[in-house]
Structure 1
Amino acid sequence: EFQLAQERSLKYLGTAKVYINQIAPHPSISRELDPQNVERLSEVFSRDGCRRLDIRNHVTAVVSRQHLAVALQTAGVTPHSLKTSPPDRYPLLEFPMGKIQCLHGQHRLRAAKEQLPPGEQWWTSDLYLDDISASLLTALVDEYSNEKIPSDGEVYLKVRQYQNEGNAHFENRWMARLSPNKVKRLRQLSSRTEVRAAFDRLRMIPALLLQGMKFGSLPRVLATSCNEEIVHTLNSLLEEWSYYLSYDRVKMMKMDPQTVARLQGKAPGVSAQDATEVEGLVLSGAVFQNFASSERKDIWKRVKKRKTIISSLDHFFQNMWYLEACANCMKRLAVPTKDHPSIKIALMRLFEPDHGNNNCIIQTSETDFRQQSGTQADRAELGYRQLWLYAMRHYPKIP
């Protein structure tokens, strides 16, 4: 994937308007047109307009370096402007017939040709050099075909990858696949840098994001104002699966989301029934399918040592319903503000240390308490945690 990203950046030329009759289908794709699909698109274009500048409607095409150089010289356009021009200033380039080849979109091109007036017979094309590898060619065809809607996890991985690379074009391309509501949710996450950083660390095991990322649930996560607890939980999720995979970066990258989905919620370290089921899944290769038999045996040894439920990002989002109810109770004690943005910060600000007292009071039942020596920091932390425990026990009764 890293090599594909590198090649994509090297071979991407930019975006231009190209006359439709100069664009031919690439030999790797079918030249046959579905008349019903053309008719459907023609009706859409007639009703709503072609929207050629919308990034979701671009076609992807390849062209030789020589033909591109001639087209740029003829139009008086620099190579740099292909990558930097805003949509309303995309240059119009002319090529010899058939020398620019599209990797998808021939149905929309045919429909547009039927709807556009003679002087407007162009379409917006994202251009690549024609000497791209077979792997990149396949990736581009699959990526832009829109045959399936990408998962939120896939979009998150791609958007953050291109943001880190400073590749605004591909970032926008992937953002365009989201609904306006999901775009808003993703941008809200960017305002919580520590929480977003915790989600970013999960990119070390892409399967965790692919299996469980839900943009629609982000508002509930952020509204809890439990930044520290959320970061801790996400870090624990990463630590857990990293442990299963021996902290091996190669293994972490080839982990599959189906395995996470099959194992989430199981507790083979404490449940004999779960242990029997999970052992069978792991050793048979029904899960961890990308690993050799010897690797799966080692993974199973690690999995059964854990005395906790196997966690996932999907379960993290489900648990937000419970956390939200408890957090609403805690907010009755201290309301987070812009200067004190989390429940913990807001509550800790109210703590008054008693420097002459080193005793920590710890509740052991609804009616019993014990004392233990500790620092002022210990007293504050234990008090904070016990407030949470009370809210978790009694939140249904707290208005």
Structure 2
Amino acid sequence: MQHIIDRFLKYVKIDTQSDPKSKTTPSTEKQWHLADLLVEELLEIGMEEVSIDNNAYITATLPSNLNIEVPTIGFISHFDTSPDFTATNVNPQIIEDYDGKDIVLNAHENIVLSPDYFEDLLQYKGQTLITTDGTTLLGADDKAGITEIVTAMEYLINHPEIKHGKIRVGFTPDEEIGRGAHHFDVEKFDADWAYTMDGSQIGELEFENFNAASAKVIIKGKSVHPGYAKNKMVNAISIASEFLEILPPEETPQNTEGREGFFHVHHIQGSIEHAEFELIVRDHDKDHFEKRKQLLRNITDKLNSIHGNCITLELKDQYFNMREKVEPVYHIVEIAKEAMEAMRVTPIIKPIRGGTDGSQLSYMGLPCPNIFAGGHNFHGKYEYIPVESMIKATEVIIKICELVAKKAV
């Protein structure tokens, strides 16, 4: 247990927060710090064909130890952390033999991780938890996945009696800002299929995700003295409010679950002369997704007809539901399910209410379901991960490699 804890803590203490405003890849220079370390570690544990490109994409190979043809499989995780919450000076806390009660993350700020609010905590009673100190995120998304992949490869190298085919691993930057697969060389990776280790709680196994788009609404107003503004002033703030009021109030992240889609406004700023806001559009159903985007266009057209063409809508697709690409090769999901059951993990097959590199990679020709990494409450100060979940994820990776080889015999 201590070995996997030490590796995880080493990774999360390195700030790798990505930046959606940056035009470079990786989007932040500090992501290189962990990327370079990972290259060193992969070489140290004995991986072959270890490489890192100019965009910080890392790949490596564990050669087959069989003399028969076995499908080449891959395991992929991202090393950036979310820009939603600070990742500077991550100071993890280790809670051994968790008693099921409140965990004080930060006494000075009265920040408490409580099972009264986060009920999932109770399923980990008696286990070892790693939490934040209440001032940063933790970074289990997705440094837990990297920890598990590196640890699994190290175990296979040290236990050649476990037979496996060729295994490829890949670590990517900028997944949190939707660019994790943008420069991924699928042809060079040369795997028949892969798995992202980027899910949440133990047991998660996902092969469908949201269709996703981003939108930016820009409103140009006209500032006139309020005492003489009739039929002259165009208040960009008021028009922004009018736009948002037309969106269905029940179709937001806090009011939806399962396969229900939503609109999510995450940034807004404004003055009388200029206002803008950004939102994301999500839906598992392709037709519903297209209707959501059309609603934004319709609102824009309606308000422009009223207020004189003052609104610009920038709408961009980000990624699509990978189910369409994975279902034709559903046996790769079945193998992961079998591996979990062999490790006494109950599979939880459900749609991702988010996205992973795997969604884009599947459309790039690399079918790529998503497997749990073990963390909870990503992107904030209440993030935590049970060490036992990381161990189980590592065991699942090893078992998948073993099962693929056995099925090829």
TM-score range (shorter-chain normalised) is under 0.3
For normalisation by structure 1, the TM-score amounts to: 0.24
Between Structure 1 and Structure 2, the one with more helix by share is 1
Larger RCO (CA under 8 A, 6+ residues apart): 2
User: Which is greater in Rg?
Assistant: 1
For normalisation by structure 2, the TM-score amounts to: 0.24
